[in-house]
Amino acid sequence: MSDKPIHKGPHDLGGTAAGPIDTTDHGMKFWERQANALRNTLTRRNVVRVDELRRAAEDLGDLYYKLAYFERTTMALRTLLIEKSLITEAELKARMAEVRARFDAPAATPSPAKKGMGR
Amino acid sequence: MSDTSFDYYARKKHDHGHHDHAPAAGKDEGPPSEYEVMSRAMQELLEAKGVVTAEEIRRRMETFEEEFPYRGSRVIARAWTDPAFKQRLLKDGKAACAEMGVELEATRLIAVENTPDVHNVIVCTLCSCYPRELLGMPPTWYKSDNYRARVVRDPRSVLKEFGTVLPDDVIVRVHDSNADMRYVVVPMRPAGTEGWSEHKLAEILTRDTLVGVTVSRVPAKG
Amino acid sequence: MTRGKRTKPRAKLPSTYNPAPGHRFNVGDRVVIKRAFPPGHRRTPCYIRGKEGVIERICGAFPNPEELAYGFDGKPAKVLYRVRFQQKHVWPDYKGPARDLIEMEIFEHWLVPASGRVKPPSLSQNG
């Protein structure tokens, strides 16, 4: 934590200077939809709480500004799973190496939810 | 063994080969990012430890894709055609949805009504709180840092970026969804929709009108 | 698409709101958000701290997110209120009309009663 007496997390964005909004909805990639389902399943069953995940994202500090939305939420889940001893860092590192080794450039899945509602 | 046909990554894991069951390609996105790998790895570890199953993740993905996004427009279309239901919705959103068989699970819904005098718009400045069980997943712009930063401070110029211009005699009322409540806007029903079925009304109750960045319109005759 | 079926009336429908036993504030009360910036997980945005508004509705008592965030049970629950502010009182440089509003949810322990005699903001044309 910083030694500043006024604490404002990187997430506390209301009223901060910002540029134009990309008003197009870019939808979600397959892995993002799956990550969302994983997160939602864990919180519905109280394995982790939404409040804990928010706190972990807020604690990313300067990294928060460098990450996209699902990158932040992935890092937050990583923090909580290790914090709660559900996984270890070593296990995660090993499994990531395994997952990485399997891939040869899969394409993103277009989201079926983009159809139909004139968004 | 759980059904992994929906799950491209699981197929890769089990097949150890390159199949063309890959999800329909847009342009090639390149190799997975570190975070995609991390997310997948965490899921697999939790599956291996029996904390979650691939099947329940798959089912939850389907619910988010096939069920949640279509509920909001149905509920608001009902409110447009049934004034007593609308009052119940405005009084207690969760109860009114339950009345219709729309179970919002954890979501505590507050419906806010647009009138000739007031235009409502929703944001979560602190993260991305959104009535997911009613509207599905939020759009990328809703989760963006720029929307979260600016809509509370200069809502009228943000609305202009979405093509929505409001006269000065209309109050713009911003709702920062920062704790346990979640919000949906009841847009004003446009003229020219008299006698429309709920189904037809639901088609002009697009997601963006229910978050409040646009107003509901009768599509121009092409 | 078929019209949604009418469900049978249930004994008790789930509610958006919780009971609020012992709530300190009532709808219409003028309040000020505490001007404090402690570290940790807070659901009171920094931009609203120190600002004055009016209680718009009582949401009920909910487990305290400031405790839930660290793995505690958040009890005793704290009463949550919706508070309404005039934008011109929140942002010194607010460019929009004077009657524009911003509303959000604030927990009771972040609220203190306001003093002085200022008319609270309303939604009506006469407000």
| Residue A115 predicted with pLDDT over 70 | no
Give the CA radius of gyration of chain B. 21
Q: What is the pLDDT of residue A1?
A: 53
The closest CB to that of C46, out of A8, A54, A84, belongs to A8
**β-pairing, B171-176 with B181-186?**
unpaired
- Specify the 3-state DSSP secondary structure of C85: strand
For the segment A9-53, what is each residue's pLDDT rounded down to a tens digit? 999 999 999 999 999 999 999 999 999 999 999 999 999 999 999
Using a CB-CB distance cutoff of 8 angstroms, which residues of chain A are in contact with residue C68? 49, 51-52
Does residue A16 fall inside a structural domain? no
The closest CB to that of C80, out of B155, B175, B180, belongs to B180
Residue scoring higher pLDDT (B76 or A115): B76
Q: Is the bond preceding A112 in cis, omega lying within 30 degrees of 0?
A: no
Answer yes or no: do A21 and B150 touch at CB < 8 A: yes
Answer yes or no: do B35 and A71 touch at CB < 8 A: yes
Longest dimension (CA), chain C: 56
Asked if A7 has any chain B CB less than 8 Å from its own CB, the reply is: no
Handedness of CA B62, B66, B69, B71 (dihedral sign): negative
Structural domain containing residue A49: 30-100
> Which of B127, B144, B157, B197 is labelled catalytic?
B127
Does residue A119 fall inside a structural domain? no
What's the pTM? 0.88
Check: complex ipTM more than 0.85: yes
* Residues of chain B falling short of pLDDT 50: 1-6, 15-28
Q: What is the pLDDT of residue A6?
A: 85
**β-pairing, B181-186 with B108-113?**
parallel
Using a CB-CB distance cutoff of 8 angstroms, which residues of chain A are in contact with residue B24? 107, 109-110
For the segment C51-109, what is each residue's pLDDT rounded down to a tens digit? 999 999 999 999 999 999 999 999 999 999 999 999 999 999 999 999 999 999 999 99
Q: What is the pLDDT of residue B26?
A: 37
CATH 3.90.330.10 assigned to B71-211 = yes
Q: What type of residue is C42?
A: R
For the segment C4-26, what is each residue's pLDDT rounded down to a tens digit? 555 555 678 999 999 999 999 99
What b/e readout covers B90-120, taking b as 16+ CB neighbours within 10 angstroms? eebbbbbbbbbebebeebbbbbbbbeeebbb
Confidence of residue A110 (pLDDT cuts 50, 70, 90): very low
Confidence of residue A104 (pLDDT cuts 50, 70, 90): low
Q: What type of residue is A88?
A: T
Confidence of residue C123 (pLDDT cuts 50, 70, 90): confident
For the segment A45-88, what is each residue's pLDDT rounded down to a tens digit? 999 999 999 999 999 999 999 999 999 999 999 999 999 999 99
Judged by CB atoms within 8 Å, which residues 38-67 of A form the interface with B?
38, 40-42, 44, 47, 54, 57, 65, 67
Q: What is the pLDDT of residue B113?
A: 98
Answer yes or no: do C39 and A15 touch at CB < 8 A: no
What b/e readout covers C53-84, taking b as 16+ CB neighbours within 10 angstroms? bbbbbbbbbbbbbbbbbeeeebeebbbbbbbb
Alpha-carbon distance of B95 to B101, in angstroms, equals 10
Distance of residue B119 Cα from the nearest chain C Cα, in angstroms: 10
The number of distinct structural domains making up chain A is 1
Question: Is B124 an annotated catalytic residue?
Answer: yes
Computed over every residue of chain C, the mean pLDDT equals 90
Q: What is the pLDDT of residue B221?
A: 74
CATH T-level fold of C30-113: SH3 type barrels. (2.30.30)
- Give the closest residue to B142 by CA, choosing from B61, B212, B69, B220: B212
Confidence of residue C1 (pLDDT cuts 50, 70, 90): very low
Residue of B nearest to A70 (CA): B35
Interface-testing mutation among C41, C104, C111, C123, with chain B (most B C-beta atoms within 10 A): C104
Alpha-carbon distance of C54 to C63, in angstroms, equals 23
Domain with CATH 3.90.330.10 in chain B: 71-211
Distance of residue C125 Cα from the nearest chain B Cα, in angstroms: 7
Alpha-carbon distance of B168 to B210, in angstroms, equals 22
Q: What is the pLDDT of residue B10?
A: 53
- Give the closest residue to B52 by CA, choosing from C84, A101, A46: A46
DSSP state of A79: H
Asked if A2 has any chain B CB less than 8 Å from its own CB, the reply is: no
Q: What is the pLDDT of residue C120?
A: 63
Q: Which residues neighbour C96 within 8 Å (Cβ) at sequence distance 6 or greater?
A: B154, B155, B156, B168, B172, C87
Give the CA radius of gyration of chain A. 17
Residue B189 burial (10 A CB sphere; 0-12, 13-18, 19+): buried
